[in-house]
Structure 1
Amino acid sequence: MSDLARWFEGPEALETPAYVYDLDEVGRSHEALRSALPEAAELYYSLKANPHPAVVATLLDAGCRAEVCSPGELRAAVQAGGDPAEMLYSGPGKRDADLADALKTGVRLFSVDSPYGLDQLDRVAGDLGADVRAVVRVNDDTPAPGQGLTMTGVTSQFGADVRWVLAEPGRFGARPHVRPVGFHLYMGSNVDGEDALTAQFTQAVDTARRLSAATGVEPELLDLGGGFGAPFARSGVRPGFPHLAERLTTLLSDAFAGWPGRGPRIAFESGRYLAGTCGTLVTRVLDAKLSQGTPVVVLESGINHLGGMSGLRRLPPVVPDLITPAAGEPLTGVLVAGPLCTPLDTWARTARLPELRPGDLVAVPNVGAYGLHASLVGFLAHPLPLEVVVAGGRVTGTTRLALHRHTLLGKDKD
């Protein structure tokens, strides 16, 4: 906290609240994950975790490709220097206009979730005179163990059920302007153990081989997804995977022995692991009081800046760690709230904190992924946090999202 505080105190202090992104930490995270994967594997950065241009550019410069799933993410990836020809455009539902925009930008690889998705992509590509490649996203038969968020083996908008592909392989074949080149299997997210990661990748590879044998398609590209875990809004460090590269190299070598060449290209995806530990939310205390004998702290930030739908109890609630330079004997049972005009705007009801006063700084660690960009920033229209980029121990840039950009359609009448 002391390193951060120097930028938020004094006559030239940066304003709060602010998300601070440490690009040196982004580089360290990339190096750690890259070393945990087979040398020849491709690595996509999932912009949904954090599309800030400096974060994206750092990862692209390090060798990542961009995985995008919206027009906004595509623009962010291009503006950060990404090559559209190397991007993967995914997502369970795509508008014709979004596909056309991606094709005009130069994207030529799409993840598709159904026969209709293939037909739609073929139609839009045909209208533009483009030929594209697709990986068919597959919803496996059973969930893989050890996941923070299960994304396969259950009823899902993501992918086509394995039994569907096996029963009607012709519906997932080539179209005049779309050539399926492989499969996309994303089993789950926020997995922090090598055994669980190896198990899910083993299951994905086995499923891909079953599909290949049944359909007669030998994939050129196999996207095994990711799920690499990292701490979120809590103190801690990213997990290490010292033996994962060796285990995956053996798995893939055994699985594709005898295939033409060296087998399919293998790709992995990550957002949380690459960006999560780079970010810290710095905010201030607005009020401190007792209510019914309980200490209450009101912050500049609440569920509008961190926690998203979990703040409205639509997902498991986020209970962030709060780091503060304040000294003194900790108070227990502290209610920590944000500034929104709703009793749902709480981060914690039984926090343990030192006595805080209005103006004190507090910080939430490890929110570089699914922080500001996954929050309810439009709810009650409070000012958005500043986004601060640091590298080499100094501030290199500040930006702020534009929240309300209203466009007047038509003309007012007298």
Structure 2
Amino acid sequence: MTASEHALHPGQQLDLTGQSGLTALPTPAYVYELEAVRAAHEQLVAALPHPSTLFYSLKANPHPALVRELARLGCSAEISSRGELHAALQADVAPHRILYSGPGKRDDDVVAAARAGVRWFSVDSPRGLDQVRRAAEATSIPLHSLLRVHAATPLAGRGLAMAGGPTSLGADAEWIEGNPDCFRDGIHGLHLFLGSNFTAEADLIRQFEVAIASARHLYDVLGLPLERLDLGGGFGAPFAQEGTLPSMPNLAKAVADLLDDAIPTWRDGRPEVVFESGRYLVSTCGTLLSQVLDVKESQGTPVVVLESGINHLGGMSGLRRIPWIVPHFDGPAEREPGPGSLVTGPLCSPLDCLAREADVGRLRPGDILRIPNTGAYGLTASLVGFLSHPQPLEIVTDGGRVVSTTRLAMTRETLDPAVTLANMEVT
């Protein structure tokens, strides 16, 4: 079935249980439940030391309804592009509550963000500091820089480490220590984000221990009164698998104790302590519904072709930039057991593989599979432009009732060649 064969209206109650409920919905579709966003936010805030500020990282999912709900709950926004800036502003995030990060920024993006009301920028080098200074001079707007630090200490755990090896993310701590005069001018805080998607509380505590120790040392090296200490996040969450958010009962006290020892004035807001999270806040709110288009056999292996592949889910995994995902598929309630299946999308590429030897039973074309915990790093982290298939609907619900239905679209603009060339630097 296609989206045009169905109608969704605000207030409609969705039934995501059983094939009868699923086949009555347009597919492919992402369904985001705001109740789950509120529950995740409450759980994370309870696990953080107080006082502290929580930023939502839009890279996890920039859907305006999710960003707006998190802003309403008190989250600030961490962005890394002009597009994410537009998404945050569209979702009514106050500009002064936005942090613009990322290892490379164009001059005009920094100026545009400043003129839109953004005041805080995370930078990775002396050039980044100078870029923010020049933007402040060009706009006559006071701007603040967080210096992102790349710690040399490698971290253990099952997450995605951002410390220890060469990286574009941050300035090496040794570089800062050896050349403090290159970094002092214009710094208003430090930014240490050492890893991502740690599901074990002990691993999270260890990364914050390293971050806080590095911050304390660099406070002494730079000799500056810093306004903000951004400790990043790394809070893990299930992805495309059944599961619940990890609990962190000891995290708040452990991090508070570390801060008390290293920077005791933090309890008075000097500096303001900041945390960031993307996947923990929105992962469990999302469900991807995808129809079976074809079922066949190849060299004795059942092959299930879905209408969603790496263009809709896990595109970065499909490119093998990050470990392969192993999605959980919840299909027809009554199904015969069958051998493990190769589950693919509809793309003309052998990389378009969502799972191997998946336990999906014996499926038929027209069946709908439900892939849970896909609210983070789903659609916008995928190869949305490859082969130009229509994008899934994105259906936002609250208590199971439809709040909004939208579809992401890619468009091509025709530009005036004279204007385009005037904006290009020709050497």
Letter in 1 for 2:113: A
Residue 332 of structure 1 aligns to which amino acid in structure 2?
Answer: P
* CA distance 1:274–1:261, change in 2 (3 Å): closer
- Checking the alignment, whether the CA contact within 8 Å between 2:51 and 2:269 is kept in structure 1 is no
Is residue 96 from structure 1 mapped to residue 107 from structure 2 by the alignment?
yes
SS in 2 for 1:181: strand
SS at match of 1:353: coil
Give the 3 Å change call, closer, same or farther, for CA 100–147 of structure 1 in structure 2.
Answer: farther
**Aligned partner (choices 238, 241, 253) of residue 231 of structure 1:** 238
Counterpart for residue 115 of structure 1: 126
1:258, distance to aligned residue in structure 2 (A): 6.5
Q: 1:4 to 1:113 in 2, by over 3 A?
A: farther
Q: 1:258 to 1:394 in 2, by over 3 A?
A: closer
Q: Does 1:273 find its partner at 2:280?
A: yes
Matched, 1:282 2:293: no
- Tell me what 2:31 maps to: 20
Structure 2 residues without counterparts, runs of 5 or longer: 1-14, 419-427
CA distances 1:129-159 after superposition (whole Å, capped 9, x unpaired): 1221111000012122225111122101011
- 2:202 corresponds, among 195, 202, 215, to 195
Give the 3 Å change call, closer, same or farther, for CA 314–191 of structure 1 in structure 2. closer
Of 149, 156, 160, the residue aligned with 2:171 is 160
Which amino acid counterpart does residue 86 of structure 2 have in structure 1? Answer: R
Structure 1 residue 6: Cα displacement: 6.2
What are the residue-to-residue correspondences of 1:206-225 with 2, within 5 Å?
206-225=213-232
Q: Residue 252 of structure 1: SS of its match in structure 2?
A: helix
CA contact (8 A) 1:183 1:221 kept: yes
Q: Is the partner of 1:274 in helix, strand or coil?
A: helix
CA contact (8 A) 1:384 1:403 kept: no
1:358 aligns with 2:365: yes
CA offsets, 1:344-376, max 9 Å, x none?
Answer: 211122111221111100011111000001000
Q: 1: distance between equivalents of 2:417 and 2:22?
A: 44
| Higher alpha-carbon deviation: 99-108 or 144-153 | 144-153
Q: Is the 8 A contact 1:326 1:356 kept in 2?
A: no
Look up the equivalent residue of 1:104 and give its one-letter code: R
- The amino acid of 1:135's aligned partner reads L
Quick check: 2:149–2:190 contact (8 Å CA) kept in 1?
yes
| CA shift digits 1:39-80 (9 cap, x unpaired) | 211000000000000100111000100001100100110111
| Rounded Cα–Cα distance in structure 1 between residues aligned with 2:198 and 2:67 | 23
Contact 1:147-1:188 at 8 Å conserved across structures: no
Aligned pair partner of 1:380 in 381, 384, 387? 387
Shift of 1:2: 4.2
CA contact (8 A) 2:30 2:394 kept: yes
Alignment of 1:249-260 (within 5 A): 249-257=256-264
Please report how far the alpha carbon of residue 407 of structure 1 lies from its aligned counterpart in structure 2 after TM superposition. 2.3
Residue number in structure 2 paired with 1:316: 323
The match for 1:56 among 47, 53, 67 is 67
- Give per-residue Cα distances to partners, 1:268-324, cap 9 Å, x unaligned: 000010011111110100011222322111110011111113213343222211111
Aligned-pair RMSD on alpha carbons? Answer: 1.8
SS of corresponding position for 1:218: coil
Percentage identity across aligned positions? 54
Shift of 1:99: 0.5
C-alpha change, 1:367 and 1:4, in structure 2 (3 Å) is farther
Q: Is the Cα–Cα contact under 8 Å of residues 147 and 189 in structure 1 kept in the other structure?
A: no
TM-score calculated relative to the size of structure 2: 0.91
State how many pairs are aligned. 404
User: How many Å separate the matches in 1 of 2:266 and 2:41?
Assistant: 30
| SS of match in other structure, 2:134 | helix
* Partners of 1:260 and 1:55 in 2: CA distance: 30
TM-score scaled to structure 1, two decimals? 0.94
Matching residue of 2:247: 240
Pairs within 5 Å for 1:373-412: 373-410=380-417
